Amino acid sequence: MKVITFILSLAISFNTFASDTNPAKDLLLKMANAVHTRNFDASFVVVKGKTMEPYRWVHAKQGDIEIEHLSLLNGAGLEMVRVDNQVTYFEPQSEPYSLTTDSIAGPIPEVLFKNVERLSNHYDFVLGGKGRISGRAAQLVRIESKDEDKYNYWIWLDMESSLLLKAAYVNHQGEALEQLQLTHISVTEQPASMLLEILNRNFPTPLPNNSLETLSSNTAKTWKIDWLPAGFELLKSDRHKLDLNNELTDYYLFSDGFVEVSVFIQRPLPGKRLSGSLTSGATTVYVHNGGNFDVSVVGNIPSLAAKKIAESVIRAL
């Protein structure tokens, strides 16, 4: 009798383990590990509507040190360098500056390389089909939103290296809105020489963030945003002048860990503007005239969700 009980308990334990296993999530975890540990040199393009942006992405692990370089190859250029927990941005017509962070703010959602588990409450991980991307065998993994207030995100992984080959924001009709695709990737045993040279460069001291935190606590009390898609939380807020028109604006940044949404609130500009949205790829810009103030919502979310956010803004004081 004890033997039968033991066998049954083993069977129950196995079934419980099996039900907790998600092969799609496991592949994403492998991708995150590969991106942090492998030496690779990749080129990719981001296709958004009729525009296309080419990037070069190089990564190395030298001992315990991670080195990463991402650059935009068109126009005046944008260059970002990460050495472990310090990222330095080189932008046209601006002095370079550094931030203390363990990831580069780029076209690939950083949560994919950090902690995909935190997405489980609001997204499902689904294994898709196999195919070929850039001549390499690829496995599709779908990150599916549990509601219609967010887009889905599909990822094709290299079946040999586990690295990313292609990614796309996909709406709930299955249409790709914005795509990122590697055009070349080489995985090497040794780090690229250009990355090793970075270790000998001097970068600006990271900016302090104490002043931002103080200002955030005050600005966050000025306005009340009554509706957000499930899972979105306030990351920061501040008050600053817009480069575009030098107008003072209250700024709020929200995220669900995957997608970020910015909310700008300012006095109405001369000439009454009608509320409405513009889209480019997966990016929506929704402008709402609230009477005594204007609200602009910007993010990779459906226009209906952006509209609901903008119309929910009321003055808190």
Q: What is the pLDDT of residues 47-89, one digit of tens each?
A: 998 899 999 999 999 999 999 999 999 988 899 999 999 999 9
Last residue of one domain, picked from the residues 169, 199, 229: 199
Fill in the DSSP letter of residue 190: S
Q: Is residue 131 part of a domain?
A: yes
Single pTM value for the model: 0.85
Burial of residue 16 (number of CB atoms within 10 Å: 0-12, 13-18, 19+) = exposed
Which value, to the nearest 10 degrees, does the dihedral of the CA atoms of residues 32, 45, 62, 156 take?
30
Say if residue 42 is in the same domain as residue 185.
yes
Residues counted in the chain: 317
CB contact at 8 A, 129 and 146: no
* pLDDT tens digits along 232-250: 999 988 888 777 677 889 9
Name, in order, each residue with C-beta under 8 angstroms of 130's C-beta and a sequence gap of 6 or more: 137, 138, 139, 140, 159
Residue 253: per-residue pLDDT: 94
Say if residue 110 is in the same domain as residue 182.
yes
- Banded pLDDT at 280 (limits 50, 70, 90): very high
Average pLDDT over residues 242-260: 87
Domain residue limits at 195:
23-199
CA distance 191 to 61: 7
Say if residue 191 is in the same domain as residue 235.
no
Q: Is residue 10 part of a domain?
A: no
In CATH, what number is assigned to the domain containing residue 61?
2.50.20.10
Residue 301: per-residue pLDDT: 97
Average pLDDT value for the chain: 88
Say if residue 38 is in the same domain as residue 81.
yes
Pick from 21-25, 93-97, 150-154, 219-223 the range whose average pLDDT is largest. Answer: 150-154
The pLDDT of residue 19 is above 70 = no
Say if residue 30 is in the same domain as residue 116.
yes
Fill in the DSSP letter of residue 50: T
Both tokens of 302, joined, read 């459906």
CB contact at 8 A, 145 and 122: yes
CB contact at 8 A, 90 and 79: yes
- C-alpha distances in Å from residue 21, one per residue of 128, 129, 194: 16, 18, 40
> CA 11, 12, 15: angle at the middle one, nearest 5?
85
* pLDDT tens digits along 298-314: 999 999 999 999 999 99
Say if residue 166 is in the same domain as residue 257.
no
Residue for token pair 């969700």: 305
CA distance 31 to 143: 14
- Banded pLDDT at 276 (limits 50, 70, 90): very high
Residue 168: per-residue pLDDT: 97
The residue with greater pLDDT, 92 or 306, is 306
Say if residue 43 is in the same domain as residue 162.
yes
Last residue of one domain, picked from the residues 168, 199, 230: 199
3-state SS assignment for residue 65: strand
Average pLDDT over residues 10-19: 45
Say if residue 140 is in the same domain as residue 244.
no
Q: Is residue 210 part of a domain?
A: no
Backbone angles phi, psi at 208, to 5 degrees: -75, 155
